[in-house]
Structure 1
Amino acid sequence: MEQVDLLILGSGPAGCAAAITGAALGLKVLVVDRNPASRKAGDALPPQAAPILQKLGVVPDPAWATPTAGLQFQWGSETAGTTSFAGLHRRFGLALNRPVFEEHLRQKALEAGACILTSGPEGLQETPQGWTLKLQEGTEIHARCVLDATGRQAWVARQLGIKRHSLDAQVALYREVDSTDGPPWIQVTAVEEGWWYISQLPHARSEMFFTLPESPAYLEKIHQGGWKVAPASVTFLSQVAGERWLAVGDAAFTFDPIASQGISQALASGYYAACAARDLLQGRKEAILAYTLTLLKATEGFFREWAGIYQAEQRFGGSIYWQQRHNLRSVQLPWWQQAELFTWVQAR
């Protein structure tokens, strides 16, 4: 039976950020992923992601990153507008070739000293010393701490019986079109049945359309063929951390793509979860509270702006999509109660 300090299930951005950080902190790290190759669409990192990239030692490479100058948007008005990243943040954003970017992160994790195993989990059992993971081929791995980086499926959390909540039903239709000379601007356009997000990646133009499964536009594009479908709803776990486990990235919380925070927050949560895991293994249980509060801070910022962004578009009041977006609600995540309870227990 192999023994590790930190077992990470999932090798996407959150899992790799945790692996890079955990290994750099001196932990014995193992990453397990059934299929490491990314199947996700191209995506982008906002200028605000620069600090977490620096913490991870990740330097943008033209092989996976194309600078983006800002946003060109038509939202709430027939008049198009622009937002310059350099003017606001004094740096560019990055449009990503997602598979190449994630492979780069995995290589960084290996260079840091982590191991990556291609295999599927079969079962997870808590033990007095930590956890025992059984893999599909029968191998068992013992870990002192586990991170759930399995995305929306939140495999570890499901094994623990932790519920996942959804706040809306948005989906994404996406495809890539051959192009290497598109404009350096991300184009965001509201239309009657949803909104478009178009960006130039290093190798292609990424086209994403966000809508509802019951919309005519969705059915039309499915009929056309050539489009892939992915969930794009806001979801969260009822609990994101326990005595020897933590959820990171999309496993913990999925952001609406309109916020452009998904990948950057996944990287940040992986980094802070690895730091928390190190502290937990050193007996500092307050690390659970610190990590939970870190996630709460990120999600609170999102909820402050979420509904307002969609409220700014009032041209399509008869659309089912926009009617639903105008009735979005922010919630107080149950993590607050868990944080308050932990604080009370520590004070006893």
Structure 2
Amino acid sequence: FAHALILSVETTEAEKCPGVVKVVTGKDCKFRYGDNIKDLQPMAVTKVRYIGDPVAAVIADTAAHARAALDKIKVEYKPLPVYTDARDAMAKDAALIHEDMDDYWRLPTLKQASGTNIANTYHLVKGRGEEGFDEADVIIEGEFNYPLGSCAAIEPHGTIVWFKEDRTIEVWSTTICPFIIREDLAHSYDVPVSDVRVHTPDLGGCFGYKSDVTTEQTIAWIASFVPGRPVKWVGTREEDFTSTLLAHGIRTKMKMGAKKDGTLVAIKSTIYHTGGAYADTAVNVTIASTHNSTGPYEYKHCDLTGYTVYTNTPAVGAYRGYGHQESQIASERMMDLMARKLGMNPLEFRKKNFLSEGKVNAVGETMWK
């Protein structure tokens, strides 16, 4: 299920299977982690929020024994409404994906909407904002969608975690953020940072989704039940798609105004970010997508809003341009449409409005050589 309460997890038969060392669930997990919002847990505790949310794991002497034992685990669920699009999850009557969202630690700059699935709202205004459209001679509107995807590196995610008997932790993982993993694990397990060592071997590709904590906390939680014995997990391609970070699903609604001579005057953009079941890494992507939705052009007036929305899809994270290209596709299509409306050459229209030296972008930065 993509969204359901966990009523029971029966592991007795799995524990009797050949080669099984331990069966682990999220039961009794008390901590959350995250760098922007602590909304993550290493395994599902009371509910699953997307297909791929880990419910139970088997530690065994071989991968074949582990897979065989997994088939013996029985889970009883109570299905809940499922939302795979930010707009549906934002509906007033939408079921909450995180009922206790207000209790999560978060950066003070983030603004959740209590009683909704909106994890953060980012709003940026330059000049007179939307009121500035009264200075425009021509106004056009459009809506553009960039779907969810996967980085799909040639090597899937893999992690080894070893909880040593002296309470130090050693990790080998397909990651490019060893220091974040080290800090997170040290905080989660209440050990000094110096007692956590993270190794990063040569990677078979990344493209972004190995630059945040993904499966490391889950494998660490599992390994914590067998101190003294390293635990290894290497994801299948299916697991890499469903249980690690996706590329972002972003829908952009845009309104653009210009003078008859081709001078851009005002822009309003609204970003609806399908942020996944956990929004810790999504919020930064939304912010980047929102303030970059103006593209490399100067507007006198800007009204930009980005919504990071909890949905019943895997969490999203870094992917190539980190949210920039998703909204700039909308910006560039709108530039073509506006040029056509004005009867201008699209290249000359762009050259007229580029952020050249002395011009000011949406966040108030003055361009210089």
- Please classify the TM superposition score into its range, dividing by the shorter chain length: under 0.3
Task: Return the TM-score normalized by structure 2.
Answer: 0.26
The two structures have a TM-score, normalised by structure 1, of 0.27
More helix by share: 1
Structure with more strand by fraction: 1
Rg larger in structure: 2
